[in-house]
Amino acid sequence: MQFTAAQIALMINGKVEGNPSAAVGAFGKIEEATEGQLAFLSNPKYEEWLYQSSASIIIVNDAQELKQPVNATLIRVPDAYSAFAVLLSKYQEIVSQQLVGIQEPSYISKTAKLGEGIFVAAFCHIGEHVRIGKNVKLYPGVVIGDGTVLGDGVVLHAGVKIYHECILGNRVVIHAGTVIGGDGFGFAPQPDGSYSKIPQIGNVIIEDDVEIGSNTTIDRATMGSTIIHKGSKLDNLIQIAHNVEIGSNTVIAAQAGISGSAKVGNGVMIGGQVGTAGHIIIADGSKIAGQTGVTKSIKNPNKSHNGTPATEFTHSLRIQALTRSLPEMEKRLQELEKSIQQLLDEKAKG
């Protein structure tokens, strides 16, 4: 597909500086792009490439000053990075819309209801009484359990497994290998030391515009629902346990684990390898640094936390500073003890 600079400028509300008929059919990094490709510049560290790049079109910030002549046609926007992201999304949407139809072999229950514009790749399984909205894309190896509901514009990449009775809203994107609705980790200890499994009869609800990375697991609730609210973004390799509730527009980085029945607020940012205890609350707007261990509820909103157990960020930094000083403090203490002992010895002799 070819797009002119004029067409691209309309998509991102930009202003063309140069040839409005310049056309591109692919994307490239500014330091590597060739003729016929589009690039962008937002980081000043790469400004030298603006004058060397062979890209046909380059998106730049309105504030970008030209120190040398530029061969490419420029499109000026308030924020080049955001504009480029919008353009990539539109391009991906156009490409995705071309995928329509049902490939074989695949299994689709006769009781399933499929919306218009659906794409089902080979080796997919769609169970009994499943309801799927419009323009949904299911890539190879996707499994949809009985009674599950998918909203419009859902994209499930290769190997995604959605267990029975789960509900996904509109425009949910789930990447390869993720499992939604597996049993929560519920076992009751018995007098003889064994464990009896507690049936997990709830489900998982994922609201609109949520995106989930590869190989993440979200367990179904013991009763009720595990809920991921609208607009939240989850990275790869995350564990969300049973009956957890993740608030709207919360972001969680890779290898984090949220224990059972924890409630994470709206607009929370959770770094990589964070672990939380179960049955706690994390207040709206909290920022949890990577590798933090959250053992108790965080009740004050919009605070940053760090360390294990988690403490407010400034307090945590003071603790770290004191910890680094411990060897010197130990040395001074030993010298002080030695001096006191010498005084005591001299007094005893006197």
Q: Which residues are catalytic?
A: 242
Strands 125-126 and 143-144, sheet pairing: parallel
d(CA 18, CA 132): 46
CB neighbours of 78 closer than 8 A, spacing ≥ 6? 61, 62
CB neighbours of 108 closer than 8 A, spacing ≥ 6? 102, 114, 120, 124, 126
Q: Which helix (H) or strand (E) holds 159?
A: none
